[in-house]
Structure 1
Amino acid sequence: MDGTPQEITSLVGREVYSNNGVFVGEVEDVRLNLDQEAVTGLAVGELNAELFSETVSPGEGVIIPYRWVRAVGDVILINDVIERLKQPEDVEEAVV
């Protein structure tokens, strides 16, 4: 438990990439579940405009569920689910 606060604060400022190598954003804060003493999400800002221009206003951020995190190192890798945000129209057109 002694290392936990240090580990959590070390997440802030790290860049987030999809596992396909696409830049997502930068961690600005973490969401915690204090009862379970666990990180539940990453508050990400400095977002990749190409991914989020349709869904998030400039200057805003998103919360990425921590369950999407695949690896934490010099950067944070998440599942490629985030890249599907930029394709919602394509999916709807394909269904019609």
Structure 2
Amino acid sequence: MDADADEITSLVGREVYSNNGVFVGEVEDIQLNLDAETVTGLALSELNRDLFSPEMTGKKGVIVPYRWVRAVGDVVLINDVVERYDTGEPEDEVAV
């Protein structure tokens, strides 16, 4: 396995926080574009129920676009746009 694959799989299990420090969820899987060989999204589970209640999502997780990722270290930081989530599903965010 090459180094890039090791880096991608290391994202699984990391906690995700907004850049304001609010816990969002935990990375369960990675969404890839195999043709372009790029990461396109992070599938999150163990969601913060204050942000994503089951009544709002109707699902157990969400996929956030990878372009929202600001930094990756011990945790993943994403833009705070997820904190403004409402009952309508934005076109960039898909429930899983």
Q: Same fold (TM over 0.5)?
A: yes
Cα deviation for residue 55 of structure 1 reads: 1.9
Matched, 1:65 2:81: no
Structure with higher Rg: it is 1
1-structure distance, mates of 2:47, 2:7: 23
- Give structure 2 stretches of 5+ with no counterpart: 89-96
Aligned residues: 87
Runs of 4+ residues deviating >2 angstroms:
none
Whether the 8 Å CA contact 2:57–2:87 is kept in 1: the answer is: no
- Distance in 1 (alpha carbons) for counterparts of 2:86 and 2:38: 30
1:56 positional shift: 1.8
SS state at 1:49 partner: coil
Unaligned runs of 5+ in 1: 89-96
Q: Which has the higher helix share?
A: 1
Give the TM-score normalised by the residue count of structure 2.
Answer: 0.84
> How large is the Cα RMSD of the aligned pairs?
1.9
- What's 1:39 paired with? 39
Task: State the match for 2:49 in structure 1.
Answer: 49
| Percent of residue pairs identical | 72
Q: Tell me, in whole angstroms, the C-alpha distance in 2 between the residues paired with 1:80 and 1:87.
A: 17
TM-score in terms of structure 1 length:
0.84
